[in-house]
Amino acid sequence: VQLQASGGGMVQVGGSLRLSCTASGITLSRNSVAWFRRAPGKEREFVARFFRSGGNILYADSVKGRFTISRDNAKNTVSLQMNNLKPEDTAVYYCAASSRLILSSSSDFRAYEYWGQGTQVTVSS
């Protein structure tokens, strides 16, 4: 299983970016998929996730209303549309997937067994 995160970059406050997570060896539409991020000096933080194959979506409070997670089943891709970006959104963003996730652990990075390499997002003020 391989996950490839892409789409990061540098934007100004209030700007937008769209991250993509493309997979091989796993069908993302049938599994739980999440985005996490790690800012410098901080622990890995949950951002958003799909739970299993349904439409059960969860967002961290810090991104609710600004970020949207979506799936493109034909491309085996999960995307994260990030709008109204803030300096505190600066981090390395990782996509993760799990075939065995339970709902109560869905925001815990330790519950995901597959990880992409991360893509840097920098928001400048």
pLDDT digits (tens, 9 = 90+) for 74-116: 999 999 999 999 999 999 999 999 999 999 999 999 999 999 9
- How many other C-beta atoms are found inside a 10 Å radius of the C-beta of residue 124? 11
Checking if the pLDDT of 73 tops 90, the result is yes
Checking if the pLDDT of 57 tops 90, the result is yes
Residue type, 112: Y
Structure token pair of residue 43: 């622990």
| Amino acid 97: pLDDT | 98
| Amino acid 54: pLDDT | 81
Rg (CA), the chain: 13
Query: What percentage of the chain has pLDDT greater than the value 90?
Result: 97
| Amino acid 45: pLDDT | 98
| Amino acid 6: pLDDT | 98
| Three-class DSSP category at 55 | coil
| Three-class DSSP category at 8 | coil
